[in-house]
Amino acid sequence: MARSRLLDRLALGFLVALGAQAPTAVADSGSRDARLLPEFTHGGAADWINSRPLKVADLRGRVVLLHVWTFECWNCYRSFPWLESVVERFGPSGLVTIGVHSPEFERERVRDDVMARAKKFGLGHPTMIDNDFSYWRALENHYWPAWYVVDPEGAIRSVVVGEIHRGDRRAEAVEAAIAALLPPGLPGSRPVSG
């Protein structure tokens, strides 16, 4: 399994180096094929930082940006300034941000180290520690970072993978998906200008 993840990551890196856009999947929540956000696989207090353990039901009625990351992933932490701008822009309109820390290396499994890195990177939102990759598998995820936009009914509406910076295509895709789901007339729901 680790070899498969490594090959996926190398292939993505190669595509990005060539200037190709990372794979993007979009599901329409109105279709019968839309996937629902899987239930969180870790419910112990020690499995969450910045929050009590959450259930997907706690998020119903809210637009969610869920991101899968690991603290030694360059593409992850170079995306965090963009993530902070998204939280500033859409948070007042009701966007909920959830992190899922799925470690690539054994040394990334230590809870205190995950907490210290989350603090260093300014990640104050709830984060589930997924050391056994059970949530990674439930999401059918293959990449760090991965960004999931979830509608108020719990359907995954957009999945974007790879490093994101303000103004790039991936950022615009995620921001547009979020803005389309937020109630009209709220500050963060304004259209993304190009």
**What's the pLDDT tens digit per position in 62-100?**
999 999 999 999 999 999 999 999 999 999 999 999 999
Q: Which is more confident, 134 or 185? A: 134
| Domain 23-184 = CATH 3.40.30.10 | yes
Of all helices (H) and strands (E), which one includes residue 96?
strand 96-101
Which pLDDT belongs to residue 165?
Answer: 97
Q: In what order do the strands lie in the sheet with 96-101?
A: 24-26, 156-161, 146-150, 64-69, 96-101, 127-129, 48-49
The domain spans of the chain are 23-184
